[in-house]
Amino acid sequence: MPQSQGFRQQQQQQQVQNASSAQVLLSSLIEMPLADFETRLQNELLDNEALEVSDHEGNDGGDYADADGENYEAGDPLDDAVGDYRTLDDVPDNLREAYTNRGEDDRRERQIGADETSYDDLYRQIGELDLNDHERAIMVYLVGSLDESGFLTKDDATLADELAFNEYIDTTPEEVARLAGLMQQFEPRGIGARNLRDCLLLQLPRTGEAREVIDRFYDDFIHSRWNRIAERMHLSDEDVERVRREIGHLNPRPGSVLSEGSRASAPTVVPDFRVTIDTEGNPVVSQHRGDLPELRVSPAFAETLVMHRAARDRAAERGENAALSRSQEEAFIYARQKVTAAQSFIESVRRRFQTLQSVMEAIVALQREFFVNDDDETLLVPMVLKDVAERAHVDISTVSRAINSKYVETDYGVYSLRHFFSTQFTSADGETVAARQVKAALAEIVAGEDKRAPLSDEAIADALAARGLKVARRTVSKYRIQLNIPKAGLRR
């Protein structure tokens, strides 16, 4: 085989290897929730001297720039300099062993454990209160009105109307508010909150810096503007870290632990996304970027590469030996490897934000009616990974990583991104119906049943079929358990 052909094949193999390594890094970063990503970024800054925080203030999510505001792009002196010694095969034998690439750090899992509990615990706590039958019936209805996050998002007037219409219980919004306040004293703490802010406040002591952050600077908190919070509250770096740890141990979704006989884990308290509705009624997606700094390649390392390349070029122009001394080669190789790693990491960070934004925007577009109608669960449509992948122009595995352990905040609650994915059934008229809509219909049927003669799972299946939803009895049983609805014999 001619030597030139062998060299080209070697170059092609190395390019494939480099592309594969970059893809592995990007996939890993995409899969990380914000808290893990912040940790990984800080570790990378510590491990790679060629990667540093830019002098620019703020992070608009755009390209990461150098100190002069110009991106390092292909074709500039730095890129040309990095072009030398692209592989270890190009490195002299005496240097190969000393400059092997380090492996990636193990990903750190940061999840907050939650106690085992169930809706039965809430009913037990109702029984411990000094209530009359009228008040107890209202409390039971309020527990049944909690959403998946454990929030009571309906207003008091709506709940009073529902109690009168569905349960034939005559009450007032004031009485509902009073009893809802009692429920907010239940365990797990935060249950029955009206929104995320109230949920966090219910879990904090009545005094303290963490409570002041949530109470007075909530908007700054949800956008992770900790520098502004520290300035306004006169907090030191140590104080900020302590407050962040305290808030980080709170549970933003106390309802997530209300599963029958299972142990649940709550996510980190800061969601990765926020969806708001603009003045024209359109949903807008933003990412919570925390205190993520703007990154750049160290000018000192860049200068080292450019200087060595310039020295080689000058020697070549004079017809002199362009070879570097051993110490120069060592410095050049070390700087090149660090700069290459820094450039790769910066590009992967940029692509992470871009990919997550595309995936979340695709989810919001597909579930638009849910977001623009006050998080109405009945408006969620069937959606699978493939649907999002096609709209976001990525592959299915990327969508799966992008939604892993990620949460989105709206004005009405915090939701796992997996919450928006659902299998589908076919109704009698041929239309597709999300499993979540079947659950909503099931809950409505049970709410309207004769309490003296509760419906069996078979009877519920028949009632669903009458609505055009053909669901097997075992599926009804599974959904009933997931909705924390007791068996017929326990609903009398």
Higher pLDDT residue, 335 or 295?
295
Task: Please report, rounded to a whole number, the percentage of residues in the chain having pLDDT higher than 70.
Answer: 73
Candidate ranges 62-76, 216-230, 304-318, 370-384; pick with highest mean pLDDT: 216-230
User: Which residue from 68, 54, 84 is spatially nearest to 304, judged by alpha carbons?
Assistant: 84
104 three-class SS: coil
Q: Name the helix (H) or strand (E) containing 358.
A: helix 326-366
| Number of residues in the chain | 492
The pLDDT value given to residue 60 = 43
Q: How far apart are CA 54 and CA 319, in angstroms?
A: 40
pLDDT at 196 over 60: yes
- pLDDT at residue 263 in the model: 39
pLDDT-derived band at 348 (thresholds 50, 70, 90) equals: very high
Q: What is the pLDDT of residues 365-422, one digit of tens each?
A: 999 998 998 877 767 788 888 899 999 999 988 998 898 878 898 888 888 888 888 6
What is the model's pTM? 0.50
Report pLDDT digits (tens) over 446-487. 989 988 889 999 999 899 988 888 777 877 887 888 788 888
Q: How far is CA 350 from CA 60, 225, 420, in A?
A: 11, 20, 26
E-assigned strand segments in 84-195: 112-113
pLDDT of residue 234: 93
pLDDT at residue 160 above 50?
A: yes
Q: Which tokens sit at 255?
A: 């309802």
Confidence at 96, pLDDT banded by 50, 70, 90: very low
What pLDDT is attached to residue 426? 57
CA distances from 367 to 149, 288, 352, 370, 389 (A): 19, 20, 23, 6, 14
Provide mean pLDDT across the span 256-273.
Answer: 56
- CA gap 159, 153 in Å, rounded: 10
Res. 30 pLDDT band, cuts 50 70 90: very high
- Per-residue confidence at 94, pLDDT binned at 50, 70, 90? very low
pLDDT given for residue 354 in this prediction: 95
pLDDT for 92 equals 38
Residue 6 Cα distances to 1, 10, 11, 14, 88, angstroms: 7, 6, 9, 12, 16
Q: Quote the CA–CA distance of 203 and 199 in Å, as a whole number.
A: 7
End-to-end CA distance of the chain: 85
The pLDDT score that the predictor gives to residue 222 is 83
Q: Is 475 exposed, middle or buried (0-12, 13-18, 19+ CB in 10 A)?
A: middle
Across the range 190-196, mean pLDDT stands at 92
Element (H, E) at 372: helix 368-372
**Tokens 């669960």, located at residue:** 377
The answer to whether residue 91 scores a pLDDT higher than 50 is no
What's the CA gap between 233 and 240, in Å, rounded? 10
Nearest partner of 186 among 265, 105, 125, 263, judged by Cα: 125
Q: Hey, is 414 helix, strand or coil? A: strand
Amino acid code (one letter) for 451: K
Q: For 289, what's the count of Cα atoms within 13 Å in the CB-facing half-sphere?
A: 16
Q: Is the dihedral of CA 412, 418, 419, 424 positive or negative?
A: positive
The alpha carbon of 426 is separated from its chain's Cα centroid by a whole number of angstroms, namely: 31
Architecture of domain 424-490: Orthogonal Bundle (1.10)
Nearest to 196 by CA among 412, 416, 420: 412
For the chain, how long is the longest CA-to-CA vector? 102
| Sequence-ordered alpha helix ranges (H) in 217-290 | 218-222, 226-233, 237-248
Domain ranges of the chain: 1-108+270-420, 112-269, 424-490
